[in-house]
Amino acid sequence: MSHVGVIGAGMMGEALMAGMLAAGWPPDGIVGADQRESRCRELAERYGIAVVTQVPRAVEGADVVLVLVKPQDVPGVLPEIGSHLEPGAVVVSLCAGVTLATLEGGLPEGTAVVRVMPNTPALVGQGMAALSPGARVSEEQLARAVRILEAVGKAVVVPEKYQDAVTAISGSGPAYVFYVAEALADAGVLLGLPRTTATTLANQTLLGASTMLAASGDHAALQRERVTSPAGTTAAGLRQLEERAVKAAFLAAAEAARDRSVELGRS
């Protein structure tokens, strides 16, 4: 029986394995691998799946191999994966900044490879992943990879040339949202609210607003207009954000993150 091999059982690896189980994967359809014996025992006990210290044991018999090691560890682990790959298996990398060319160059010629940029909300089942298939990937193999990523959120398929922009928006995006939540909570404290109350108000407001936006499918500007009454409190606050060029600051932040992603990809 084929299975999904998960190489690297850190937080994201665990999130994917837990998400797949919740989505209906049988426990014997997942085999994880991690260098730490204590981590292997912990996950095996928690989820009832096989988690081993030897990469070949997770790769052998797998039709999908997920790679979630540190980017600097990729060159060392690819030969170990490649020497035990099954015919027709697809290798899916969630290693930040590692290009398709690097992955294909470190694996046997003709290996099907998919590059993925995930983000941390996958840890709570609300991730956003962008997948870029290599030249050898079939529609069926890509569909398998998409299905796995959708077990922890949403997934889109994009050409690899967009991966640096994806990194800037959804990869780094959670940090921008946390920054906004922090700023709103600080504003509440400035206005006299207790810190715990201000934090609850800020966090739940962001959750509610993002849920409304996702449910509506509307452009964000339309939702903003619906809560902005003429000459009202929201209009007064938005005017200050416009005067302080907050939107321009977000654009500059995204460009800086994109540029840094490009630099890391070249190193």
> Tell me, what's the pLDDT at 174?
96
Domain ranges of the chain: 3-161, 171-266
Q: In whole angstroms, give the CA distance from residue 75 to residue 192.
A: 54
Question: Residue 266 has what pLDDT?
Answer: 78
Q: How far apart are CA 46 and CA 7, in angstroms?
A: 18
Distance CA 178, CA 170 (A): 13
Asked if residue 242 lies in contact with residue 152, where contact means CB atoms within 8 angstroms, the answer is: no
Is residue 1 over pLDDT 70?
no
**pLDDT of 210 over the 60 cut:** yes
Reported confidence tier of residue 224, pLDDT bands at 50, 70, 90:
very high
What's the average model confidence in pLDDT over 47-76? 95
d(CA 60, CA 16): 19
**What integer pLDDT is reported at residue 89 of this predicted model?**
96
Confidence of residue 263 (pLDDT cuts 50, 70, 90): confident
Could you read off the pLDDT of 156-186 as tens digits, one per residue?
999 999 999 999 999 999 999 999 999 999 9
Dump pLDDT digits (tens) for 245-261: 999 999 999 999 999 99
How far apart (Å, rounded) are the C-alpha atoms in residues 185 and 192? 11
DSSP codes joined into one string, 185-239: HHHHHHTT--HHHHHHHHHHHHHHHHHHHHHH---HHHHHHHT--TTSHHHHHHH
What mean pLDDT comes out for the span 38-65? 96
Other C-beta atoms within 10 Å of 187: how many?
Answer: 14
At 76, the pLDDT band (50, 70, 90 cuts) reads very high
**What topology does CATH give the domain 3-161?**
Rossmann fold (3.40.50)
Q: Which residues pair with 3 in a beta bridge?
A: 62
Pick from 133, 134, 129: which is nearest to 167 by CA? 129
CA–CA distance, 117 with 113 (Å, rounded to integer): 14
- For 114-118, what is the mean pLDDT? 97
Q: Tens digit of pLDDT for each residue in 178-196?
A: 999 999 999 999 999 999 9
| Neighbouring-strand partners of residue 64 | 4, 90
| 267 has pLDDT over 80 | no
Q: What is the average pLDDT across 46-60?
A: 96
pLDDT of residue 145: 97
Sign (positive or negative) of CA dihedral 141, 146, 147, 151: positive
**Does domain 171-266 fall into CATH 3.40.50.720?**
no
pLDDT value at 146 more than 60: yes
What pTM was estimated for this model as a whole? 0.92
* pLDDT per position as a tens digit, 13-30: 999 999 999 999 999 999
**What's the pLDDT score for residue 264?**
81
